[in-house]
Structures are given as structure tokens and as C-alpha cells.
Structure 1
């Protein structure tokens, strides 16, 4: 894959991600939902932490939420530069197309969520009890680097109590799939799934001359 094609794919993923987030942010109040199918809903939530709403301060309790949020955002920025450098080298060195495609999805997804964290706080007012405005006159709901990631895809495909015969979890309430996610999360997941399923093609062994 050429650098031009990789860039186009990144831009397409970013546009889909950001347009969906901006639409939900400017048309839904926080925790408002719209049922598309019985198993699929548009459900607007905001995530100020890591995957599934986990906060860095939950793992490292002696730091404040603000410090944890800033640290996480800065770490993501450093990581995206690393992934971008890896992707650039993979394209230039004409490495496996499987690897390049996987890195494109991971890079685009990670960048999509970083945009939320860095810019959404200063670009929108809050969504509590109101539909947020883009670039409001009174300013945003937070400072730069302290924005929340917008999630909206919710797929409660099945919920109920698990069978009693199941060890440990028997009889407990369970929902599949409970987390709320976004297009950037899907892109990152696709990238990692490609690397896992096609690991040998992504990282082919080179024959060494004796």
C-alpha cells in the first residue's frame, strides 16, 4: 500500500468517526438514546478515561483525576507519534500490506479518540440536560487536553440471568455486549484483530543466508 492510499484510508476513518461524534454531541443530551433495532441503539455517553470508562486514578489512587486525565492524554499523544512513525516506515520499506492496513486502522482510531481528548473540551459546552453547541460563545466545558471521548454505539444483543449450572457465574445477570463504543474504537479493534489473525503475514520471517 502506498503512502497516498494509507493517508486516504486514515482520512476516511477519521471523517466517519468525527462526523458521527459531532452529530451525536450536537443532537443528543448526555445519556439520551435512540433505538435503531432491538439489539442496537445510539446511546450518547462520554468517557473521560480508558477502555470501558476505567480511569487511571482508579489504578493509581494517589493521583488526582485531573492529573490522571492529563497523563493519559499525553501518553496517547506520544503513542500516536510512535504508531505513526512505525506506519510510515512500514510503507516506505514496502513491508507486508497486512501490517500496513492494521497500522492504518490502529493509527486512525487512536487519533480519532485523541482529537476528542485534546479539543472537545474547548470546542463544545457540556451535554448535561442540554444539547451541546459547537464553539459556544461562553467557551467549552473544559480546558485543552481535558476533553471527554464521545461514545454512542450500544449493542445489548442479549441480557438475562446465566444458567445455574455455570461455575461461579451461574445465576448472575449478564449482558452481551455492555460497553458503549465509537467508530474509532472499532477501527482500533479491527487493526488488532488483523495483527492477531494474520500475524504470520504481518510479520513474515525472512530467510537468513548462512
Structure 2
């Protein structure tokens, strides 16, 4: 795979990711008020992620800035890895996987860097694109997530059981976006097809 094709993969994933996020931001209300049940195990639920995966945050007023800066540096490194892999004629599978990871990481960076200044807040209202009352500042945007697959939603134990009684259990309660799917798919390819990916023609 040449660099042009790799960049096309990156562009296509970025386009789908950003279009889906902008649509959700401008049509959904944050939280369960904006939930759409596609099936009983697949829902569209608009949430905003302040930090890393599963909503993990770095503490302190500079935590978000540090995280965003780290993401930008990481994307630079992944971009160089992609360029080097093409130059060294690595396997198409490896180049494709790196392109997916690059696109996913870049997609979430766009949210973090720009969304705080181009959208107003989504609490109890649908956000406006290019609002004159943005919810944040540069580098302090929130990542938009929307895909929710609660395959099993049930209660762990009956109400009368001490400590665990009456608590709801959800199998696979992560909420994610297209960028996350791209990253996970790229990493999955590198793990599952390791020998084929890192082999050469």
C-alpha cells in the first residue's frame, strides 16, 4: 500500500468520525435525554468524555492540556511510523492498521482541540455549531461518544442480598465513537495478525 492510499484510509475514517460526532452534537441532548434505542442491545447515547478511555481524567487544571498535548505528540509519532512503514515497503496489513490507529487518534484530538471553541454546551439543549457562546477554550474540548452496546442489563443479586443486592449489572457498558473503533481495530489487527502484519513482501 502506498502513502496515498494510506492517507485516503485516514481521511475516510476521519470524515465518518467527524460527521457522526457533529450530527450527534447538533441533534442530541447530552445524557439519557438524547438516547435512541436502535435495538434492546444497541443504543445511541450522547456522552462527552473529559479525558482518556472510559472517562479517565488527569487531575488538576492542567491535566486536560497535558493529555491533549500528549495526544498530539503521539499522533506525530504514529504519523512518522506510517510514513516509515510505507517507505520500507512493510506489509499492507501493517500500513492499514497504522492508518486506522492514526485516524482514530487524530479524530479524538480534533474534539479536544477544537470542539470547546466551535460548540456551545449540550446540557438540556442541542448544541449549535460555530456558536458565539462556546462551552470551552482551545485544547479543552470534550470528546464526543455515542455508541452503546449494553448486551446484558440485569441485577446482580436480589434486593435482600447484603452489599450486592439490587445493584444493576451491565455487560459491556463502554460508550465509544468511530475513532475509538478505528484505534481498537488497528491494535486488534497488530495483535491477532502479528506475524503477517510485521512480515515483509
User: Under a length normalisation based on structure 1, what TM-score does the superposition of the two structures give?
Assistant: 0.87
Task: Determine if contact 2:42/2:147 at 8 Å carries over to the other structure.
Answer: yes
Correspondence for 2:25: 25
Tell me the distance in 2 between the aligned counterparts of 1:179 and 1:160: 16
State the 1:137 CA deviation.
2.3
State the 1:73 CA deviation.
0.3
Correspondence for 2:161: none
State the 1:94 CA deviation.
0.7
**Residue correspondence of structure 1 range 102-181 to structure 2 within 5 A:** 102-138=97-133, 140-161=134-155, 173-181=168-176
Q: Please give the per-residue CA displacement for 1:63-95, whole angstroms capped at 9, x wherever unaligned.
A: x1x211000000000000000000011011111
Tell me the distance in 2 between the aligned counterparts of 1:98 and 1:205: 10
State the 1:98 CA deviation.
1.4
What secondary structure, in the 3-state scheme, does the structure 2 residue paired with 1:26 have?
helix
Count of residue pairs the alignment pairs up: 193
Task: Determine if contact 2:118/2:129 at 8 Å carries over to the other structure.
Answer: yes
State the 1:153 CA deviation.
0.4
**Residue correspondence of structure 1 range 63-78 to structure 2 within 5 A:** 64=60, 66-78=61-73
State the 1:163 CA deviation.
8.3
* Gap change, CA 1:205 and 1:87, over 3 Å in 2: closer
State the 1:41 CA deviation.
0.8
* Gap change, CA 1:135 and 1:205, over 3 Å in 2: closer
State the 1:141 CA deviation.
0.7
Tell me the distance in 1 between the aligned counterparts of 2:126 and 2:105: 26
Tell me the distance in 2 between the aligned counterparts of 1:87 and 1:130: 40
Structure 2 gaps, min length 5: 159-163
Larger mean CA deviation between 112-121 and 31-40 belongs to 31-40
State the 1:152 CA deviation.
0.4
Q: Please give the per-residue CA displacement for 1:6-26, whole angstroms capped at 9, x wherever unaligned.
A: 111111100110000000000
